[in-house]
């Protein structure tokens, strides 16, 4: 007899093992997902619920249950957690927590993202290249401010691995001198969208804006994605514009205004992860009510936005929890200060750290990666993807 372990961090291994034994793909995938381990954290529980939870979840279902005065951490395979999540299958007094666990487990990120008239596959990592056309961006302000330089840089982003080009005309850099008007932002961004639509006709274009007027004109000019760093908070009309155009939408978590969302002014949380999930959920609800269909929505946890260094690291580690929202996850760790704090390197030297953070985020459920330099991130993500899906690599 020989027994070999299958690592919990690579459920694809179990799926492939079952395929080798003759299982069909649907059966093998379902079994692998069910065997994957996980945990949920419940708070606000009374003593009677805690006692019943230990007896039922820990005793009958074989889950690991750790408890405190009013909380519990419940861990085990996804299949066993799913059994706990059936309100009809357990003790009536646990119906409420069963429903809550079900909501926490329900999200399995979609395998595609609908933008305009096309669908982008998320079966492998998707890279979004950053094109700042602002004079004051924290990383590359002023370098691509004129149209020829912007177009050349967009071409370089695509040549080095970007699947999408994200164009931004308003910096969120702390301490920027004054707000940018819609007219000024359009003067920076719109000519670039128009030029790139001709130069890179097959490359999806995203516009990083919080303004409905900017979004509307850029979508008309050929962009197919709006990346709203306010999560739809600052200009509700933007969501209606996206809905009318059938565009893709990125909702990033942040707090405050464009002027202070990248500071620590709003970085006080009682429960970081749950508050971010709740606030992103509110953003999704606003977008859907405005007419944006869910298949067009992507969420971004906003690393570095209203988050201290330690909070960004915690969020990166716990990123998989955001899959409970049921939407694809995009991350933008590129050249952020939490990477500089860990490496001691300057902003211009953080592309390798960025690539490493992208690979870590991919392992934790992210599908889309917004970066300044696609080259290192492309290679790091190719390695991470090959480790999870070795059969995708040509012999």
- Catalytically active residues, by annotation: 336, 370
- On whether the CB atoms of residues 71 and 42 are closer than 8 A, the answer is yes
Supply φ then ψ for residue 50, to 5 degrees. Answer: -60, -45
Give, in degrees to the nearest 5, the angle at Cα 171 between 309 and 243.
100
- Give Cα 229 to chain centroid, integer Å: 12
Q: Which two tokens stand for residue 194?
A: 């128009």
Tokens, residue 220: 């008309």
Strand ranges (DSSP E) for 194-352? 205-208, 225-228, 248-252, 297-300, 330-331
Question: CB within 8 A of 381, min separation 6: which ones?
Answer: 125, 127, 355, 358, 359, 362, 369
In this structure, the number of other CB atoms found within 10 A of the CB of residue 54 comes to 16
Bridge pairing between strands 126-132 and 368-371: parallel
Give one word for 90, left, alpha or beta, with left for phi > 0 and alpha for psi -120 to 50.
beta
User: Across the chain, how many H-helices and E-strands are there?
Assistant: 14, 13
């Amino acid at each position: 007899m020989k027994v070999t372990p299958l690592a919990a961090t690579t459920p694809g291994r179990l799926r492939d093992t079952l395929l080798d034994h003759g299982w069909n793909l649907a059966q093998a995938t379902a079994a692998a997902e069910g065997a994957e381990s996980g945990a949920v954290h419940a708070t606000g529980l009374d003593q009677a619920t805690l006692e019943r939870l230990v007896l039922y979840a820990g005793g009958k279902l074989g889950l690991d249950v750790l408890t405190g005065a009013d909380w519990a951490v419940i861990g085990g395979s996804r299949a066993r957690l799913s059994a706990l999540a059936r309100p009809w299958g357990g003790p009536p007094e646990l119906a409420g927590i069963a429903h809550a666990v079900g909501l926490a487990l329900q999200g399995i990120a979609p395998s595609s993202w609908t933008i305009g008239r096309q669908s982008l596959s998320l079966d492998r990592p998707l890279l979004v290249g950053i094109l700042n056309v602002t004079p004051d961006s924290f990383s590359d302000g002023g370098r691509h401010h004129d149209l020829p330089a912007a177009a050349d840089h967009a071409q370089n982003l695509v040549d080095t691995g970007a699947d999408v080009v994200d164009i931004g005309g308003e910096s969120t850099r702390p301490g920027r001198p004054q707000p940018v008007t819609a007219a000024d932002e359009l003067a920076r961004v719109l000519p670039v969208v128009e030029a790139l639509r001709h130069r890179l006709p097959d490359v999806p274009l995203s516009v990083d804006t919080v303004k409905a007027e900017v979004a509307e004109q850029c979508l008309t000019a050929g962009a197919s994605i709006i990346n709203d760093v306010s999560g739809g908070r600052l200009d509700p009309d933007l969501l209606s514009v996206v809905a009318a155009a059938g565009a893709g939408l990125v909702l990033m978590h942040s707090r405050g205004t464009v002027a202070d969302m990248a500071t620590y002014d709003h970085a006080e949380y009682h429960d970081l992860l749950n508050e971010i999930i709740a606030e992103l959920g509110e953003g999704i609800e606003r977008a859907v009510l405005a007419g944006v269909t869910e298949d067009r929505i992507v969420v971004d946890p906003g690393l570095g936005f209203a988050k201290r260094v330690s909070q960004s690291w915690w969020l990166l580690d716990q990123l998989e929890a955001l899959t409970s929202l049921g939407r694809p996850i995009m991350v933008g760790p590129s050249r952020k200060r939490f990477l500089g704090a860990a490496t001691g390197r300057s902003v211009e030297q953080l592309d390798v750290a960025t690539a490493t953070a992208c690979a870590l985020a991919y392992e934790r459920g992210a599908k889309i990666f917004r970066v300044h330099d696609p080259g290192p991130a492309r290679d790091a993500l190719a390695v991470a993807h090959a480790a999870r899906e070795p059969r995708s690599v040509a012999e």
